[in-house]
Chains A and B, each alone.
Chain A
Amino acid sequence: MTGFLPQGLLAVALLASPMTFPAPDPSTAQQATNRDAQTLADFQVRVKNYLALRQKVTGGRPALPDKATPDQIEAYQRALGQSIIAARKGAKKGDVFGADMTVLVRRLLGPIFKGPDGAAIRNAILEEAQPLVPTINTRYPDDVPVSSMPPEILKALPKLDENLEFRFVGRHLILMDVPAHLIVDIVDNAMPS
Chain B
Amino acid sequence: MPCLRRLSLAITLLLSSLLIAQSCGGVSTDQPAGPAVVASPPAKAAEPVAFPNADGSLKFLAFGDFGTGEAPQTQLVRQMTSLHERFKYELVITLGDNLYGTNNGQAYRTKFEIPYKPLIDAGVKFRASLGNHDNVNQTKYELFGMNGERFYTFKAPKQNVRFFALDSSSPVAAQIEWLEKELKSSTDEWKIAYFHHPLYSSARGHGSTESLRKVLEPLFVRYNVSVVMAGHDHAYERTKPQQGIVYFVAGSAGKLRKGDLNRRSPFFEAGYDADLAFLACEIHGDDMFFQAISRTGAIVDSGVVIRRKEKLQ
A residues neighboring B (CB under 8 Å): 64-77, 117, 120-121, 124, 127-128, 142-143, 145-152, 154-155, 159, 165, 167, 178-179, 181
Contacts and interface: CB of A to CB of B under 8 A. Distances in A.
B153 interface: no
B135 interface: yes
Contact of B137 (A64, A121, A155): A64
B169 interface: yes
B27 interface: no
Nearest to A157: B172
Contacts of A152: 211
Q: Which of B109, B140, B173 has the most CB of A within 10 A?
A: B140
Contacts of B142: 67-69
Interface in B191-205: 197
Interface of B: 101-109, 113, 131-133, 135-142, 147-148, 168-174, 176, 197, 206, 209-212, 214-215
Contact of B141 (A68, A127, A150): A68
Contacts of B215: 151
A165 B147 contact: no
B112 to A, nearest CB: 9
- 9 smallest CB-CB distances across A and B, nearest first, come from A70-B108, A66-B148, A67-B142, A150-B211, A70-B105, A142-B102, A71-B105, A145-B132, A74-B105
Contacts of A121: 211
Contacts, number: 97
A147 B103 CA distance: 17
B132 A128 contact: yes
A167 B167 CA distance: 14
Contacts of B173: 154-155, 159
Contacts of B168: 148
A149 B167 CA distance: 11
Contacts of A66: 139-140, 147-148
A155 B142 CA distance: 32
B158 to A, nearest CB: 23
Contacts of B137: 64, 73, 76-77, 179, 181
A151 B140 contact: no
Nearest to A160: B172
Nearest to A167: B170
15 contacts: A66-B147, A66-B148, A68-B140, A69-B105, A70-B106, A73-B105, A120-B210, A145-B133, A146-B169, A148-B169, A148-B197, A149-B170, A150-B212, A151-B171, A159-B173
Nearest to B138: A73
